[in-house]
Every structure is written in structure tokens, then in C-alpha cells.
Structure 1
Amino acid sequence: MFKSKNIKITDFTLKSKQPFFKAQSISGKFQRRFTGIHFYEAEFTANYMAQDINEVKEFVARHLFGRPFSVPLSYFSKYTGDVRQMVTAAAGTARGGRKVRISNFTGTLKAGTVIQFENHKKIYTITEDVKSGGEMKLFPNLRQNVLAGEVIKYQNVEGEFVLKTENIDWKIAQIGKMKFELVENV
């Protein structure tokens, strides 16, 4: 995102988008079927002084036409569990899978932990607690193959996003502010 300390980011919102169909039968049974790919959207406001507008213009020029960029997810991806060592996939798992067997480590990766795999930037969430050597259950399904020995990042995950903002309104003032909309690069 912005590498400069001159641009202050405020009002950052991360939205989880799960396209699904839901229905409840006459017996009361509730069904939910996913009809598409899970992804995240985000929005934020960039605040800057007039003398720093060129940094914002540079960001827009680089990313307006679909060039992806990394976004730190701050508190959303902050890990507070008891695992301290590197976690890797113990065996390969094909694209579309929901379970990945993981290596030996000490502690438990808790449900709700946000992770990424080394070979792609998709953001996943662990759906059940998993201990050393167990099967890690994920949401959404894997978007890419996972290789045996692949590192699983569970601390300070960064999402890869592209700009969704179509119209850029440049307000020429001493203190500038611009709202950006993003979508996860899946």
C-alpha cells in the first residue's frame, strides 16, 4: 500500500463476501450452499497534506488498472495463540480441498485464525481448533494446490488486493482525503 508515513490510513473496513444460496424447508431444516468464490473487499480513507498529493497520485497511477498490491490486515490477522514455531503442510492437498494435514509443532491453532500458504496470497480461516499433526479445516476451499512442506503463515497475514474504485475525485485542498475501495485478488 502506501510506503510513506505522510499518508495516514483511517476508516479501514474489511468485508467478507460469501456468495451463497440459503433455504429453509417446511420441516425447518436449513440449507446453505455456496454458489461462488469467497473473497474479501476492503475500503479505507487516505488522508494527506497538499504537499504529499504526488504520493497518492503515484499509488493511483500504479494500481488503477488492476496491478495488485499487499495490504497489512493489522488486528484482523494478529495471532494471539500459543504456537510459536513454523507450521508447514505435512502432505500435499489438491485445489478444492477443505482439509490440510499439518506438521508437528507445539500448541493449538485456534478456530478463527487467519492464514495464508506460501505459494499463493488467498486468505483462509481455520474453522476448528487443530493440534500438531492434525488436519486443519479451512474456509473457503483451497484455491491452489498445497505442497508437502509448504509454509503456512499464521502471523501478520497480508492480503493481496486490487483497486475497485472506478472514479477518482481529486479534491484540491490543504488537507486531502480520498476513499479507496479494494477487492481481494483471487
Structure 2
Amino acid sequence: MRDPVGHLPTGEGPSPRLAALFASFARVGGVLFGGGYAMLPLLECEVVGRRRWLTPAAMTDLFALAQVIPGVIAVNVALLAGQRLRGWRGAVAAVLGVITAPFVVMLLLAGVYDALLRHAWMARVVAGLRPAVAGLLLGTAIRLVLRNGCRAGLWAICVGVAGLTLLLDLNPVWPILAAVAAGLAGQWIGARRPRREAAP
């Protein structure tokens, strides 16, 4: 399996064992509320801060790459991170880890889900989770922008995309595709500029 992110630096820690890789992603998957976008701060705490398997910059790049690949973001991030750390075996271990806890919880709750929704305390639990998840998402968004520098252009893109998504109720796929196109265009323009300057 070809390494799509082989240029990304790993952290200071040693290469993880497959069991440790599975356990770390299972720990993240077990507390992953709010979807894949809330995964970044949790995964950074585990993989970057606690384990030191990847650098913060590498983790951010993996997360960005996972968003342009079809599929569930949490699974995509686990796949890319595991593959980066231990090849295809690491990818399998990380993906199995991140989906195991949610799968077990869904099996346990499947028979009592409707009954739980009728309880007032469950409504209070869900109401309490909403602002916490929103805070995680906001922190993730700010962290992504700050790590790419505080240039005015990046902030303008961030605010513009957020505003258009909210006002026009855009499908998130379109801003992501537009960002990919803009990145490719910027790379092409940047590659042509040195050639023009070097030309006599």
C-alpha cells in the first residue's frame, strides 16, 4: 500500500505497536461525540500529546487530507494516521480501534433507544452535549487556521466559507472541493512564478 503522506514528520516517540495503536484509537472513538470534526482535539491529546507519535503539523495535515477523501472523517483520519505510523497493518488496527467502541455502544442501545428518548434526563444530557461539541468544533477550526499562519487571506477564506455555508445552507462538499481547486491553482501559480523570474 502506497504511503500517501510519507512526507509528513512523525513525532519524537517510538513507532507504536499495533495493540497500542488499536487501544489509542479505541480510547478516542469511545468519547467521540459530535462527529469526525470533533475528533482532532481528542486525537491530538492522545496521539500527539500523550504518545508523541505524530507532530501537531502532521496531525493537522492528515485531518485536512481526510476531509477530501470520501467516507466518514473519523475513519479516514484513523486510516491515514495508522498507515503513516505502521503501514497497512497500522491502518487496519487504527480503523478497528476507532469504530469498535461506537459499534458496541450502538448494539447496546439499539433495543432501548426509543425508551431512552422519552426520559427527561436524556433530553438534558443531549442539551448539555450540544454546547460542549460546539466548543470543540470552534476550537478545532481556530487551531487549524492559527497553525497555517495568521495571514489575512486565510482568515478571509475561513470567514467567507463559514458565512456562505450558514447563509446559503451549502452542502459542505462544495466548499471543500472549492478549497481543493484553490489550493491546486495556488500551487500551479507558485510553481510558474520562479520560472518567469528565472527566464532572461
TM range (shorter): under 0.3
The structure richer in strand per residue is: 1
The structure richer in helix per residue is: 2
Scaled by the length of structure 1, the TM-score of the pair is 0.23
Bigger relative contact order, structure 1 or 2, given CA contacts below 8 A and separation 6+?
Answer: 1
Scaled by the length of structure 2, the TM-score of the pair is 0.22
